[in-house]
Amino acid sequence: MWGLPPEAHPVPAILGMGVLLRLLDGSPSRRGARLGFLFGLGHFIPGLAWLWSSLHVFGKIPAPVVVGMIVGLAAILSGYCALFGALLPRLVPARWLLPLAAAALWVVTEWLRAHLFSGFPWNLLGQVWDGSETCLQLADLGGVYLLSGLTLFLAGLLALAVPVGAGQGFRTPAVALVVALGVLGAGYGYGHWRLETLAADSGMLRVALVQGNVPQDLKWDPERKKDWLKRYLEHTRALEKPVDLVVWPETAVGFFLQISPEELARITTLSREINAPILTGAPMADRDGQNEWSYFNSMILIDSGETGKFASRYDKHHLVPYGEYIPFRSLAPASMHKLTHGSKDFSTGPGPVTLNWGLDKIGPLICYEVIFPDEVRQLAV
């Protein structure tokens, strides 16, 4: 749908949803389901286009297979939109209830999409407000679902403003406009107040993000691992000082630091030089009492303390199906491997937990985990 990041803007989303709601107004359930499903395909297929690079360009999966995977996944996700389209006309006994019913039902379908079958809350509608720092503060009250509900409520008001027959006068559009302006005014008023409060209460931290721009097709080359680490060390050493925390990307360190004491010592020494801890992604491996290995996609905090020790560690707990592990592994053939580098599945970490840091606590999220709103909010409280 237009309006989603990276060019986030609520107006196209409100207009698009307004058209859908107008089409659904009074529709039989079957027609509503079809309209919702088609709308979902238009919403999700463009939003999943990034999988082309991940699966075809880097994963080397044949193009027709990738196209089928994208369309198939979009079709599955569109089922939630079909459910919305089928149920909404049944939930609106009086037309003036359309904004409230649409907002409530859409939020329910988004919540179901975020939780059923491990969940996939990709492109939640509330993300269209990402470009509005002020209105975005409403997420403090109800997360992205509140913003999704706001979008549908405004779209419902827009649909109410469209005449359903020659007998409708100007009263309904005028009331819808007044209510819309009142809701937006209240939202922006809260946002301004919240931003001023945050500015007055929060201290300033200097956090540096370092991106090595390592080519993905060379990232895991064992003969180049020291070259890539050197690149991150050089970029970090060149940072403007002082800095409170340095952050490297997911698996910026493409090897096991647990068995690489020399490389770990170099990072620890650099942390001492810049007088700031370094937070980096790295694969980790642990062996249990049965001498079995478990592998983790981890985030580790390295500071200037004892060389060879990690100050804190987080293991990713919400893994990508088929990308980081094979679901129902015990039932899958042994020849089936995940789509990403390495033949072994990653194991699941203990869940949303914070990392201890001298100045505060860090709420760690690795890649896929950032799209799950409940888990993000759990780390923010």
Please give the positions annotated as active site: 250, 316, 367
DSSP 8-state class, residue 6: T
The neighbour count for residue 95, using CB atoms within 10 Å, is 14
Cα separation of 229 and 231, whole Å?
Answer: 5
**Residue 365: strand pairing partners:** none
Contact present, 129 and 175 (Cβ < 8 Å): no
Residue 182 neighbours by CB under 8 Å, 6+ apart: none
**342-366 core/surface letters (b: 16 or more CB in 10 A; e: else):** eeebbbbbeebbebebeeeebbbbb
What percent of the residues of the chain are helix, what percent strand, and what percent coil, each to the nearest 5? Answer: 55, 10, 35
Q: Which of 24, 40, 39 has its CA nearest to residue 99?
A: 24
Task: Fill in the amino acid letter for 149.
Answer: G
Alpha helices (runs of H) in the chain, residue ranges in sequence order:
10-24, 29-47, 51, 63-87, 98-115, 139-161, 171-201, 225-237, 261-274, 373-380
